[in-house]
A and B are shown apart, each in its own frame.
Chain A
Amino acid sequence: MQEGPFGADELWLLVAAGLVFLMQAGFLCLEVGLVQTRHATATAMKNTLDWVVVGVAFSLVGFGLMFGASAGGWIGSGPALLGIGVGGRDSLFFLFQLGFAATAATIVSGAIAGRASIVSYLVASSLMALLIYPVFGHWVWGGALTGSPGWLEAIGYRDFAGSSVVHAVGGVVGLVGAWIMGPRLGRFAADGSTRNLDTHSFSLSLLGVTVLWVGWWGFNGGSALAFDGSVGGIIVNTNLAACAGSLVGFAHARRFQANREIEIKLVGGLLSGLVAITACANVVSPLGALAVGASAGVLHNLASEWLLRRARIDDPVGAVPVHAVCGVWGVLCVAIFGRADLLPHDRLTQLGVQALGAGVCVAWAGAVGWLVFQAVRRSVGLRVSPAEERAGIHLGFSGEEEAANSAPTGLDPDELRALLGEAARR
């Protein structure tokens, strides 16, 4: 633990931590802009709560599990168990990492926006910061403070700034949540076709994307953990991938997807480029960064259409195609586009290791996310009431309309039994 005086490395880490915190504002604007107007305030509130909940849970438990002394590469423990106990330079590292944990939690909240109850949301966010994110994070980055690496890191798995650790983990948990929770009311017609729901303000979403974009300079640039010669190149690559993802996402939607939701494809492609380059910004050339971003733009569009029109999963902010799909793609890009002299293994072996790590990420986040959402579903329920969803979600919903809709049916028990019995015989 370095106590100071601090130099440029520490100053850069603090600036980068601030930029990553700023991304919370970006996510807030992005998500509020894409949900229905009546849910705008609740969505903003939940995004704010991300930092509050994660700030406590990651400080008290998550940080130690992720960066404490490793038990066989599987879990961290020891003196760092209480993140608030860190000091000196480690405090700056903690702040930087806190922003990453909050980002992972925010991705989940976007996928389940517009119908999640506050309880299910708080449970999901807490467990992201307490368990799901830090455990996988330990496997990949666990040696950052102690030098004792997690098991994936030890076999040569590389994810520079978190395409899998942050984005795919958040995106996969979000996918599981959106699937188990079901769509927003009215998202699909009775015949299964999709229906467009109003969005609050696409302009606000664009502002959010711009804030996220500059925040990503800190997210990736700060992951060098030093203000050295690599930082400029990492940020240039980050920027190039975003531009390529946006342009290709837009062009692909125009040429091959009949302009469907083309605005979403443009910003989704941009964010997908950012997510994909996050794993490999330190090992690809600028040309490679363009290729990473461009391929992510196409993948985003394909995944986005499949999710909505085939799988019929309602993801109001497009969190799954951006973060889950392009997060996985990003870690594969390490082996595909990374400079050979910067990889631990030959390219083919590296691709195998990256695929293994991505598979482990999806399996871990998917399995624990499934258990968490099923537990909430079976105990207290996942969603707000239909009445609240129609009126607009807010924390102080009175429930008067809900009570009216839950009034006794007017059917006497015999009539009810007869109707249900008749239906059962059909």
Chain B
Amino acid sequence: MKSELAFDQVAIRMGSGHNLLAAAEWLGLPVGEQFELISGARVEFLLEGEPVPTRDALRSMASR
């Protein structure tokens, strides 16, 4: 069953600041890079500016 993504933006922590990616930009990143960012706790998934649990975000990616 296909479902909507649970997030529309992704915040990535850099050195002292953050960058904001649209969901499409995040989905365009290589899986290896996504893995590194998530396992390094550098990612926050967002829906209309509010945080979304990582597990929910990943499950929505997997079930699209």
Whether A associates with B in a native complex is yes
* A binding-site residues for B, Cβ under 8 Å: 115, 117, 119-120, 181-190, 195, 376-377, 379-386, 389-390, 405-411, 413, 416-417, 419-424, 426
Instruction: Tell me, in angstroms, the Cα distance from A408 to B42 when the chains sit together.
Output: 9
Which of B17, B31, B34, B44 counts the most A-chain CB atoms under 10 A from its CB? Answer: B17
Q: Is the CB of A423 within 8 A of B64?
A: yes
Asked whether, in the complex, the Cβ of B58 is within 8 Å of the Cβ of A382, the reply is no
Contact B51 A119 (CB under 8 A): no
Interface residues of B (CB under 8 A from A): 8-9, 11-22, 27, 31, 34-35, 38-39, 41-42, 44, 46-51, 54-55, 58-59, 61-62, 64
Which residues in B have their C-beta under 8 angstroms from that of A410?
A: 54-55
Contact between A411 and B46, CB atoms less than 8 A apart: no
Is A420 within 8 A of B39, CB to CB? no
Give bound CA distance, A420 to B38, whole Å: 10
Q: Which residues of B contact A408 (CB under 8 A)?
A: 41
Residue contact A381 to B49, C-beta cutoff 8 Å: no
List of B residues within 8 angstroms of A380 by Cβ: 14-17
Residues of the A chain whose Cβ atoms lie less than 8 Å from the Cβ of B61 = 419-420, 422-423, 426
Whether the pair B62, A406 counts as a contact (CB closer than 8 A) is: no
Report the minimum CB–CB distance from A130 to chain B (whole Å): 21
Q: Is the CB of B19 within 8 A of A381?
A: yes
- Do A423 and B15 contact each other (CB < 8 Å), given the known contacts A406-B42, A406-B44, A408-B41? no
A406-B41, A410-B55, A426-B61 known; A385 vs B49 contact (CB < 8 Å): no
Contact pick for B11, options A190, A385, A417, A422, CB 8 Å: A385
Contact of A386 (CB < 8 Å), options: B38, B41, B44, B54: B44
A417 → chain B closest CB, angstroms? 6
Cross-chain contact A416 with B62 (CB below 8 angstroms): no
Nearest residue (CB) in A for B15 is A380
Alpha-carbon distance between A417 and B49 when the two chains are bound, in angstroms: 26
Pair A120/B44 contact, Cβ less than 8 Å = no
The answer to whether B17 and A382 have CB atoms under 8 Å apart is yes
| Interface hub of A383, A408, A421 (most chain B Cβ within 10 A) | A383
Give the complex CA separation of A190 and B11 in angstroms: 15
Q: Chain B residues with Cβ under 8 A from A411's Cβ?
A: 38, 54-55, 58
Query: Are B14 and A379 within 8 A (Cβ)?
Result: yes
B19 and A377 within 8 A (CB) = yes
Q: Are B17 and A186 in contact (CB under 8 A)?
A: no
Task: Pick the residue among B12, B38, B50 that contacts A409 (CB under 8 A).
Answer: B38
Shortest distance from the beta carbon of A351 to any chain B beta carbon, whole Å? 39
Given contacts A182-B21, A379-B14, A417-B35, 18 further A-B contacts (CB under 8 A): A119-B17, A182-B20, A186-B49, A188-B48, A379-B15, A383-B11, A384-B17, A385-B44, A386-B11, A406-B13, A406-B42, A406-B44, A409-B38, A419-B59, A420-B38, A422-B61, A423-B62, A426-B61
